[in-house]
Structure 1
Amino acid sequence: MDICIVDDDFEFCQKLKKDLIIYLSEKTDYLNFEIQSSHFNEMNFQKKYHLIFIDIDLLQDNGIDIAQKMLQNNPTSYLVFISSHSSLVFDTLITQPFFFIRKSIYKKDFQSFINLLMEKLKNHQLLHLNYKYTQAVVPISSIIYIEIEVHKLSIHTYNGIYYDNRSLKAIQKILNHEFVQVHKSFLVHLSEVKAIKSQEVIMKNEKVLSIGRSYKEQFKERYKTFLRL
């Protein structure tokens, strides 16, 4: 899980990181933290994260503005605002945050956040990926489709493209019934299918994938069943 903490209080960043490790290490064996406590204008807003924590009232910057920039490339991330000023909670609603942690009652709010996050993660299984000594974790619900390439899988999600060493057949055994093979090279997430043409499937991100002749009938039947659920 990739986590970003944006706060000009470095000691608080370290405390938050420590607390997150305690709870999230039970959920995943991959936790990657990036802490930004200064030079906010030099941040890489293209980077993908699963969890984003941002202090609203930074010394020289507006945390809400930073959040809006980050959300452009992280539309499915869990955004959590942090502040010493409880009155600012209403200003954050424009970004539709997942939670708001008040530093004045940090322990109480953090525990409430963890309880809510754990409940969410129960309904959003995580897929652990490994490619060339690089590990990553993606929510299965965020996967649009999976493509087999030379010696690797490309997992296309709304947070970017991830890679894995396994075969398409091996990864399909791990995934739930919403994933169906439509071609020797493609495995699609049925909930991300926008339309089906004669020999093509159009995904909700407008990606057009070919349907293999030997997979066509089974795919259409599975999709019809899925729509009736």
Structure 2
Amino acid sequence: MRLAILDDDINSIKAARGAILRYPQVEFLDYFTKPEDLFENLYKYDGIFLDIELGQDNGFEIAQKIIDTDSQMQLVFLTGHASYAIDGYDFNPVNFLTKPINEKKLKRTIEQLEEKIDDIEEDAQIMFRMKKGYEIINVKDIDYIERRNRKNYLMYKGKEERISNYSMKELLDMLEKYGFFMCHQSFIVSLKKIENIIDEGNQRYILKLEDCKELIPVSRNKKDELEKKLEKMYRNKI
């Protein structure tokens, strides 16, 4: 899971980060003290730990803006006063955590977050600009994206479609939160579709994907990062 904290108290952030990062389900955890900085990066995250009392900013107003921007974003409210919880139920948060964070409640919250995010990813769709117009694609059907001859091609459900007017970075920004990884400057792959990492010697590695004939190259400087992501992903499922 890719999470962030928004809190104006750096000591509270440190305490929350220390507790949340104990869970291997958390791929990374960013933090922000200003709402505008969070909104610049909101697309990166699956869930937000949001302090209700944000100095001059109202946490519930920020929550509404988050939901208006991304209706599937999962929220966990942080507060020093349990009485605030009543006003927050309209936002359908995963949970309310009072400071200091209770370890048992946090454990359950992380489990609930994982369940909700898994359900969202299963049904996630993205609209791509294709050669003949726009098309909505189920994320779970995407195998990989290849950049070839200055053009990008989407491989899904056994077919290839050219997608228009995107850089590889833009495509990675769209897909990374759903478990995609740029293993090579010309390839973005679904980590869930990887069956095997093949060592060809001389530090050359290729990927075998489910139901794909083409083998995908892995850059030397990406191999260790890829292995760590796969180890973490499958360790969480045990």
Distance 2:37 2:51 in 1: 15
Structure 1 match to 2:110: 114
SS in 2 for 1:3: strand
The Cα of 1:64 is off from its aligned counterpart by 0.9
Which of 155, 161, 164 aligns to 2:182? It is 164
User: Counterparts of 1:1-229 in structure 2 under 5 Å?
Assistant: 1-23=1-23, 26-27=24-25, 30-31=27-28, 33-37=29-33, 39-40=34-35, 42-47=36-41, 48=43, 49-103=45-99, 106-118=102-114, 120=115, 124=118, 139-143=121-125, 144-145=138-139, 146=142, 148-151=145-148, 154=171, 164-165=182-183, 173-174=193-194
SS in 2 for 1:90: helix
Distance 1:96 1:180 in 2: 39
Amino-acid identity (%):
26
Indicate conservation of the 8 Å contact 2:182/2:188, yes or no.
Answer: no
Q: 1:4 to 1:170 in 2, by over 3 A?
A: closer
Segments of 5+ residues of structure 2 without an aligned counterpart are 126-137, 155-170, 196-209, 213-238
Provide the aligned length of Structure 1 versus Structure 2: 159
Over aligned residues, Cα RMSD in angstroms? 4.0
Q: 1:171 to 1:44 in 2, by over 3 A?
A: closer
Q: TM-score, normalised by structure 2?
A: 0.52
Distance 2:193 2:46 in 1: 24
Segments of 5+ residues of structure 1 without an aligned counterpart are 126-137, 182-229
Distance 1:86 1:106 in 2: 13
Q: 1:162 to 1:64 in 2, by over 3 A?
A: farther
The Cα of 1:57 is off from its aligned counterpart by 1.6
Q: 1:46 to 1:173 in 2, by over 3 A?
A: same
SS in 2 for 1:22: coil
Indicate conservation of the 8 Å contact 1:46/1:70, yes or no.
Answer: no
Distance 1:142 1:61 in 2: 31
Deviations 1:137-172 (A, max 9, x none): x94543534373415764756979966347699878
Indicate conservation of the 8 Å contact 1:76/1:142, yes or no.
Answer: no
